[in-house]
Amino acid sequence: MSESRQLPPSFLQTGSSSFTEFLAGHAPDLVPGSRTIPVSAIDVPHGTTIVAIAYADGVLLAGDRRATMGNLIANNEMLKVFAADDFSAVGIAGTAGTAIEMVRLFQVELEHYEKIEGTRLSLVGKANRLATMIRGNLGMAMQGLSVVPLFAGFDLDRDEGRIFSYDVTGGCYEEHDFHSVGSGSLFARGALKKLWRRQMTRDDAVHVTIEALYDAADDDSATGGPDLGRRIWPTVAIVNADGTQFVSDDELAGVVQQVLEARREIGGTR
């Protein structure tokens, strides 16, 4: 192989199992929180409401599909829930572009660790790695480009689903039973308080999630409810001992119809 095609020496040196640390050391301009932005305010798309629910066999993470930019709807089909690895998922609220870039880096971070160390990070370890990345974005958050994700996964050691929330400084907090973040989180959490039950089945958890997102969309203009006309449904990830799977659009369409029919009966559809 010619010298021009060889990997740089930095790629061949032993070091940390953290890909983020490697990137910060050798290409810092590619780390989301290291970039400089204009001092004046800028309008960028923001993701809105994310919901997480613990159920009998694991945990569910869901998000609406709307992104807003000021008083405008920037996107009606944005994906805000992603598989972090085989046994965890992350949902994003806040500045959409920065959040999506952070999630992609987080996915590489977990894969890199597994390849270097030959084992998976524990679920708490994954949550702490994400917290470190959020802390690195604090400078941009102070200028209005904050990222506030919701992380959920299946703990193989404890055989249960767990939920972790964050603040813009990188503080990591374990939540119990259910949680929500984003502009519609207050309304979604109010619905969850009344509908969540211990040892819910997977199907019950999906139904409760749709109910919560509907309530958030009713009262928060930045949260998009299910759109029957364009067949735009929330993104719903299920994480359990079998791994991370996403609920199909066909199943979500059926659940949405059930929710609508129940609301028509009590006069709750607006």
Amino acid at 84: A
Active site residues: 48
Tokens of 110: 């977990």
Lowest mean pLDDT segment, chosen from 71-75, 158-162, 209-213 = 71-75
Has residue 82 got a pLDDT over 80?
Answer: yes
User: Does the pLDDT of residue 142 top 90, yes or no?
Assistant: no
Residue, of 9 and 57, whose pLDDT is higher: 57
How many Å from the N-terminal Cα to the C-terminal Cα in the chain?
67
d(CA 71, CA 222): 9
Paired sense of beta strands 94-95 and 58-63, if any: unpaired
Q: Using H for helix, E for strand and C for coil, what is the string for the chain?
A: CCHHHCCCHHHHCCCCCCHHHHHHHHCHHHCHHHCCCCCCCCCCCEECCEEEEEECCEEEEEECCCEEECCEEEECCCCCEEEEECCEEEECCEEHHHHHHHHHHHHHHHHHHHHHHCCCCCHHHHHHHHHHHHHHCHHHHCCCCCECCEEEEEECCCCEEEEEEECCCCCEEEECCEEEECCCHHHHHHHHHHHCCCCCCHHHHHHHHHHHHHHHHHHCCCCCCCECCCCECCEEEEEECCEEEECCHHHHHHHHHHHHHHHHHCCCCC
Q: Name the CATH topology of 45-268.
A: Glutamine Phosphoribosylpyrophosphate, subunit 1, domain 1 (3.60.20)
Are the CB atoms for 67 and 48 separated by under 8 Å? yes
Q: Evaluate if residue 149 carries a pLDDT over 60.
A: yes
Predicted confidence at residue 208, as pLDDT, reads 97
Q: What is the pLDDT of residue 146?
A: 86
Convert the pLDDT of each residue in 150-192 to its tens digit. Answer: 999 999 999 999 999 999 999 999 999 999 999 999 999 999 9
Please say whether the beta carbons of 173 and 134 come within 8 A.
Answer: no
Question: pLDDT of 26-53, one tens digit each?
Answer: 666 556 655 555 545 566 677 789 999 9
Above 50 in pLDDT, residue 1? no
d(CA 179, CA 175): 7
Mean pLDDT for all residues in the chain: 87
Q: What is the pLDDT of residue 51?
A: 97
Say if residue 269's pLDDT is above 90: no
The side-by-side arrangement of strands in the sheet containing 172-175 is 81-85, 88-91, 150-155, 160-166, 172-175
Kindly state the average pLDDT of the residues 106-118.
92
Q: What's the mean pLDDT in 196-207?
A: 95
Q: How many whole angstroms separate alpha carbon 51 and alpha carbon 47?
A: 13
- pLDDT of 17: 65
Task: List the beta bridge partners of residue 175.
Answer: 163
Q: What's the pTM?
A: 0.84
pLDDT (average), residues 206-218: 96
What residue spans define the domains of the chain? Answer: 45-268
Considering only residues 266 and 257, tell me which one the structure prediction assigns the higher pLDDT: 257
**Residue 33 and residue 137 in contact, taking contact as beta carbons nearer than 8 Å:** yes
Q: Are 79 and 67 in contact (CB under 8 A)?
A: no
Q: Is the pLDDT of residue 2 over 50?
A: no
Would you say how long the chain is, in residues?
270
Provide the pLDDT for residue 141: 80
Q: Which is it for the CA torsion 173, 178, 180, 185, positive or negative?
A: negative
